[in-house]
Each structure stands twice: as C-alpha cells, then as structure tokens.
Amino acid sequence: MDYNTLLQIVKEYGSPTYVYDAEKIVLQYKRLTKAFNNVKQLRINYAVKALSNISVLKLFNSIGSGLDTVSIQEVQLGLKAGFKPEDIIYTPNGVSLEEIENVAELGVQINIDNLSILEQFGSKHPKIPVCIRINPHVMAGGNTNISVGHIDSKFGISIHQIPLLLRIVENTNMTINGIHMHTGSDILDIDVFLYASEILFETAKNFKNLEFIDFGSGFKVPYKKGDIETNIEELGKKLSKRFNSFCKEYGKDLTLAFEPGKFLVSEAGVFLAKVNVVKQTTSTVFAQIDSGFNHLIRPMLYGSQHEIENISNPKGRERFYSVVGYICETDTFANNRRISEINEGDILCFKNAGAYCFTMASNYNSRYRPSEVLIYKGKPQLIRQRETFEDILRNQLEIAM
C-alpha cells in the first residue's frame, strides 16, 4: 500500500481508520497452500477471530478457504458470508452445552475441548461426529498470554487424560472424526511444533474413524525490519513428509488442517491515525494521536511492537518520540521510537494491524470504533462505517427519573 493511497483514504474516510490489502491476504493464503502442496488433502480454515469483517470473510470464501470459529456468532457470520456449514469448524472454550448443540444443528463441525462437555454431548448426540482438542503440554508460542498448549492452559483435553477420554467415547458410542491441537501464537521453533505433532499422531492412533488432523496454527509474522518469522516452507516440507507417512500407517488418506489467522491477515493491515498534539516534557517528546487502546490494544495488552511510520513526512529527519493515545489511561503505543519528524496533523501508519486489532476494539471513554477499508482489485472500498453517537446509545434504555 503506497502512502499516497493511504493519505487519500484518510482524506475520504477520516481517521482513525483500518485499511486491509486483499492482494496481500491472497498471497499469504497461496504461500501457505504451496508450502503443503505435497499433501493430498489440505484444508486451511481461516481463524475468524483475527479479523471478522464480513467482506474479508467473503474474500476467503472466494479463494476456497474454510473457517475456524470460536462462537456461534462467528459461525453465523461465516454462513452469512456464504460458507457452507461443512466448511466451518467450531472450536469454543468454556461455552455452554446449549450453544454447542445450537451450532451442531447448523451442520457445522464440532470441536470439543473438555471431558465434561464431551460426555454430555456424546450421550445426547452420539451420531454427530466430533473433533477433540488435545492439549499436548507443549509450549510452542512466545509467552503464556499467547501460548495455549502448556500444562496450565485452560484449553484442550490433557494428553494424560486420554484413558478417560477413550472410556467416554466407548461408553457413549460416539464418533470421533478429527483430532486437533493449538500450541499458541508466534511459533519460532519448528522442531518444537513437530514434537507436539508427534504427540498428536500418537493420540490419533486411538481413533479408527478419523477424517482429519488439525494442527492449529500460531505462525509468527515479522513485526519489524529484520524480525524473525516462522519458516513456513521448511515446516511444510518436514510436516508434509511426516503426515504422509502417518497416513500410510493409519491406512487411509486424512486431511491435514490448519487454522491460521495472524499469518493470513496481520501484514495485510495497517492502522492510520492523526497526530492531535506534539507535546514535549523535560525528557520526552510525545506524539498524541486521535486513538488509544480502545482501537489498538495489542501493544498495551501483549507488549507487541507495531512499526510506526509518519506517512505525511516519510523522508523527514528522524527523531525520538513516544506515541500515545487520547484515552484517560496509560495508552502508550511506542516508547522513544525513531520516527520521521512529526508535526500536528500528520498521519501515522501502524504496520501489522490486520490481526487482533479491530476485533479487540471497544467504546471505552465512549469513543467511536473506527472505519475499515479494504483495497480490493486496486480500489479502496469502505467495508465498515465509522460509528456515530447513535451507535453509542443504540442498546441503552433511559428510565424515568
């Protein structure tokens, strides 16, 4: 995305605004499928929670992707976007049996991650095939906030509970058609991921009617120049070979599934915000923007680093700035970051803003959530209007005083 296009988008749709590049999304999807082109049956299920705008979902549907969902609302969004029920997998955590049953009625693949719900669901609906989410107790991600395969995680059924799991399956006579794991985000060590995969293969041997094995995702993308990322090509080569070998041992060709979110959309998105004030204290120069953690919480929540560029003055002399927001809380996006000289009214561009950014936005301080724009076939198109005061009041009820 060139700077002139982004500046024109701000001029037309205001700030702050999220902008996504459809071409980059498609390229990332093709890169992943190419890395695993030696597998006979591959399924990529885009993780809706990363970026759930219905226009983005329609884009994924058009290129043959499936969907990974975590709520009945995400399932309904997928159906609304044109996905067939059989192309959606539902992997909730801590939801009610009632919600799982409601999703099952829609014809979506169910993925259950705890023994209590598994037994209840299997007892009531033994004919509905179910996938099981296993916790391999392998921490393949960066930290405990984004790594969900460690022993203290709330996600998945422990590998140490396999004997009890098998007893439940036998007693209910239910059909298990898939095995799943997700070790967490920002995977760097491919060997650790492959080690977790071996645990999944070993678990899969206990089930005779599998149709697929889902290896989750969590592939790391670069967040700054020179940053390291998951080597998808190397992983594709090694895991494909092992997967094909397992299928021969198992006696039939299974589908290899992934559920990437960040890998597909993170680098395709940017967040544009205007500088309201340049404020200098005794030790710091602050660039205060027309946004805060109500729009982009990842730096404050996870300590994530988003590269920031001043697209109004990209070739200016670099100075050190702390970029902060307008929320009445500490909402620091960057501390003492080298950025081209900033003036009030300049537009700052936050890179890697496609995943887990807008979807985590809120109305804190009664601020409006921003607009979203998709650049599709070279043309910027508004895919979400900026909220208004009427949106703030929409579900509030005034009582007589």
Domains and CATH numbers, the chain: 22-262 (3.20.20.10), 269-385 (2.40.37.10)
Contact 86, 107 (CB under 8 A): yes
The whole-number pLDDT of residue 230 equals: 87
Q: Which of 131, 328, 349, 357 is catalytic?
A: 328
The whole-number pLDDT of residue 222 equals: 85
Crossing angle (nearest 10°) for helices 232-250 and 22-35 = 50
Whole-number mean pLDDT of the chain? 93
The whole-number pLDDT of residue 269 equals: 98
The whole-number pLDDT of residue 191 equals: 86
* Nearest residue to 213 via CA among 89, 83, 32, 75: 89
The whole-number pLDDT of residue 228 equals: 83
Q: How far is CA 24 from CA 220, 267, 331, 376, in A?
A: 16, 8, 29, 10
Peptide bond connecting 16 to the previous residue in cis, omega within 30 degrees of 0: yes
Rounded Cα distance, 142 and 272, in Å: 27
Q: How far is CA 285 from CA 59, 228, 282, 339, in A?
A: 41, 30, 9, 11
Which pTM does this prediction carry?
A: 0.94
The whole-number pLDDT of residue 184 equals: 65
Rounded Cα distance, 212 and 179, in Å: 7
> What would the pLDDT profile of 101-151 be if each residue is shown by its tens digit?
999 999 999 999 999 999 999 999 999 999 999 998 886 555 444 444 445
Rounded Cα distance, 177 and 206, in Å: 11
Burial state string for 282-293 with b = 16 or more CB within 10 A and e = fewer than 16: eeeebbbbbbbb
Q: Which residues of the chain have pLDDT under 50?
A: 143-150
Is there a catalytic annotation at residue 328?
A: yes
The whole-number pLDDT of residue 186 equals: 65
Q: How far is CA 207 from CA 14, 53, 160, in A?
A: 54, 37, 16
* Nearest residue to 109 via CA among 64, 69, 58: 69
Structure tokens at 236: 């594709």
Q: How are beta strands 308-310 and 130-135 bridged, if at all?
A: unpaired
The whole-number pLDDT of residue 217 equals: 86
The whole-number pLDDT of residue 114 equals: 94
